[in-house]
Amino acid sequence: MKKRIAVLASGRGSNFQAVIDAIQDGKMPATCAALITDNPKAYAIERAKKAKVPVIVIDFSSYPSRELFEKALLSAMQQVNADLFVLAGYMRMVGADIVRSFPAKIMNIHPALLPAFPGLHAQRQAVHHGVKVSGCTVHFVDESLDGGPIILQRCVRVLKDDDEDSLAERILHHEHECYPEAIQLFCEGRLEIIGRNVRIR
């Protein structure tokens, strides 16, 4: 049985593309039911059109308040009726109502080894802190900022001449492998959450 997944993205959408590619290559028992974006100018929309994935735009700037935006987003997510929502460069925190509506059904990828460097500019934080190793983390989304149960992580060495951009580029390469892998595990029913731990069966 194929799972229905929906992707939320705000920008470039290279992780979204990695998910589309994995589905098209037959690596993942899933169909991509929708791209949902808060940004009508997101390049992810072009990728969706090319892959014939339906696009839903919930334009953040056209809502008078964050609450009303979140309400519209929640309603769109309910209509899509996905087994899994994949945040792929979705640049807002998902509100509590949405998290509570889809427990253990929302995943995120973050470009650092959480719990180090949550929030924005994780690669810059890593370079400024002087860590020798960083990477990426796929996790389930809870109400905290980048703090939900960790599914997979990949390590990337920080080189002595790295700046934010060079580190981000190397991490991104790993993201494109790690995220489809985590989604595949979900689709195969192999992820079990026990407290803060995610067991892979």
Q: Which of 125, 118, 113, 127 is nearest to 155 (CA)?
A: 113
Of the candidates 20, 127, 172, 185, which one interacts with ligand GRF according to CB under 6 A? Answer: 172
* Shortest Å distance, C-beta 162 to ligand GRF: 15
Rounded CA separation 168/154 (Å): 13
Interactions with ligand GRF, residue window 57-96 (CB under 6 A): 88-89
162 neighbors 169 (Cβ within 8 angstroms): no
User: Nearer Cβ to ligand GRF, position 156 or 172?
Assistant: 172
Residue 15 binds ligand GRF (CB under 6 A)? yes
Lookup: tokens for 101: 């509506």
Residue 14 binds ligand GRF (CB under 6 A)? yes
Longest CA–CA span in the chain (Å) reads 48
* Shortest Å distance, C-beta 146 to ligand GRF: 9
Q: Which of 185, 196, 194 is nearest to 3 (CA)?
A: 185
Question: How many residues make up the chain in this entry?
Answer: 201
User: Nearer Cβ to ligand GRF, position 71 or 166?
Assistant: 166
Query: Which residues are catalytic, by number?
Result: 110
Residue 47 binds ligand GRF (CB under 6 A)? no
* Shortest Å distance, C-beta 128 to ligand GRF: 17
Side-chain-facing half-sphere of 97: CA atoms under 13 Å: 12
* Shortest Å distance, C-beta 111 to ligand GRF: 4
Q: Where are the alpha helices (DSSP H) in 38-111?
A: 44-50, 66-80, 96-101
Residue 135 binds ligand GRF (CB under 6 A)? no
Residue 110 binds ligand GRF (CB under 6 A)? yes
Residue 11 binds ligand GRF (CB under 6 A)? yes
8 neighbors 27 (Cβ within 8 angstroms): no
User: Nearer Cβ to ligand GRF, position 18 or 58?
Assistant: 18
